[in-house]
Amino acid sequence: MRHLAGEAKELRLDVRKTVGSTNRIVKDLAAAGAPEGLAVIAEEQTEGRGRLGRSFYSPAGTGIYLSMLLRPELAAEKAVLLTVTAAVAVAEAIEEIADREAQIKWVN
């Protein structure tokens, strides 16, 4: 992950109760010029999408639904590494801080 080295970016959180899709919101904000480091977090997604546009089940109270705007100097085909790395890091942090087992639901 040496491609991600560099200065830490400012993190901005946009927390919402219910959204159609955190990814759609971040894409729209990115197109409008939002800065890197924006994270949209929702308790529930009603129109979540996985790989190839498949429906992603994301009801309230069952997970953390988050999309983050990053602009790394990284080839698009390697971007999936960001998702995997972040998911594992969050699960490990939850287990350490909350002393609860965290499971990762991989994108379909």
Domains of the chain by range and CATH? 2-74 (3.30.930.10)
What is this structure's pTM?
0.75
Count the neighbouring beta carbons within 10 Å of the beta carbon of residue 85.
12
- Alpha-carbon Rg of the chain, whole angstroms? 14
Please report, in tens digits, the pLDDT of each residue of the chain (108 residues total).
Answer: 444 555 556 889 999 999 999 999 999 999 999 999 999 999 999 998 877 778 888 889 888 899 999 888 888 888 778 888 888 998 999 999 999 999 887 766
Q: What is the bridge-based pairing of β-strands 12-19 and 38-45? A: parallel
Q: What is the pLDDT of residue 108?
A: 60
Q: Both ends of the chain: CA-CA distance in Å?
A: 24
> Which residues lie below 8 Å from residue 18, measured CB to CB, with a gap of 6+?
42, 43, 44, 45, 46, 60
Q: What is the pLDDT of residue 31?
A: 97
Measured CA to CA, the distance from residue 28 to residue 93 in angstroms comes to 29
